[in-house]
Amino acid sequence: MRNESLEPYMGMTFPSLEDARDFYYEYAKRTGFTIRTNRIRHSLKNMAIIGRDFVCSREGFRAAKHALRKDRVLPPRPVTREGCKAMIRLAARDGGKWAVTKFVREHNHKLLTHCKFPGELPIVNILSEEEKDKKIRDLYNELQRERERSAAIQQQLRLILKDLEEHAEIMSIRVEDIVNSLREIELDEL
């Protein structure tokens, strides 16, 4: 049976940890998700790696403290962790082989299905450091323009408020003059 159509199963063995990881990576790619290393177990005798978990990249949750920071300059990164339980657990066996000791197939999110070719994951737009710096400069310049525009609008509003206050003062004086004139007329008629 070819690996392209195979799904992991309990007891499945691999000649090396790298082969197991490559197999699960290809399985994830075909299925429509990405993976990451979650847990590594070491031998207490010699600290050799004796176990490893590969999980869906949406496993777990990002700590809220990162999104809720008060000193944040840029907006928080998009939520990518949704508590997905899909994973494969591998354990070292005698003879240097690696065996699947746990496999969880189910995901709690939609799998990527909008790929052009079978097995292809969508290309993630990863920016180079120069592109990131340019993007930051562009956003900073846009922020500065908006601040200047806001300051100009605030100045216009102040001028309008000043004109309104002057107009209200003039109207108050005129109303007072009219009231005084009416009192004089009333006194003359008496």
Residues 6+ apart with CB under 8 A from 132: none
pLDDT score, position 89: 95
pLDDT score, position 123: 47
Q: How many residues does the chain have?
A: 190
145: which 2 tokens? 């323009």
Amino acid, single-letter form, for residue 40? I
Q: How far apart are CA 112 and CA 120, in angstroms?
A: 9
Q: What is the pLDDT of residues 83-135, one digit of tens each?
A: 888 999 999 998 789 999 999 998 888 877 655 555 555 544 456 778 788 88
Q: How many CA atoms lie within 13 A of 60 on its CB side?
A: 11
pLDDT score, position 131: 78
Q: What is the mean pLDDT of residues 152-173?
A: 95
Least confident of 112-121, 152-161, 177-186: 112-121
157: which 2 tokens? 């509003």
Q: How far apart are CA 115 and CA 95, in angstroms?
A: 39
SS3 percent helix, strand, coil of the chain, rounded to 5, is 45, 15, 40
pLDDT score, position 5: 59
How far are the Cα atoms of 33, 108, 115, 157 from residue 165, in angstroms, in the given order?
64, 61, 64, 12
Q: How far apart are CA 37 and CA 17, in angstroms?
A: 12
Degrees to nearest 5, angle at CA 189 with 186 and 190: 90
Q: How far apart are CA 55 and CA 4, in angstroms?
A: 19
Helix/strand/coil for 23: helix
Q: What is the mean pLDDT of residues 39-61?
A: 89
Helix/strand/coil for 12: coil
Q: What is the pTM of this model?
A: 0.53
Q: What is the pLDDT of residues 2-19, one digit of tens each?
A: 555 588 999 999 999 999
Q: What is the pLDDT of the chain when averaged over all its residues?
A: 84
Using only C-alpha atoms, the chain has a radius of gyration, in whole angstroms, of 35
Whose tokens are 């008629």? That residue is 189
Q: What is the mean pLDDT of residues 54-74?
A: 77
Least confident of 77-81, 97-101, 149-153, 166-170: 77-81
Q: Which residue has the higher pLDDT, 75 or 181?
A: 181
Q: How far apart are CA 178 and CA 183, in angstroms?
A: 9
Whose tokens are 């928080």? That residue is 76
pLDDT score, position 1: 43
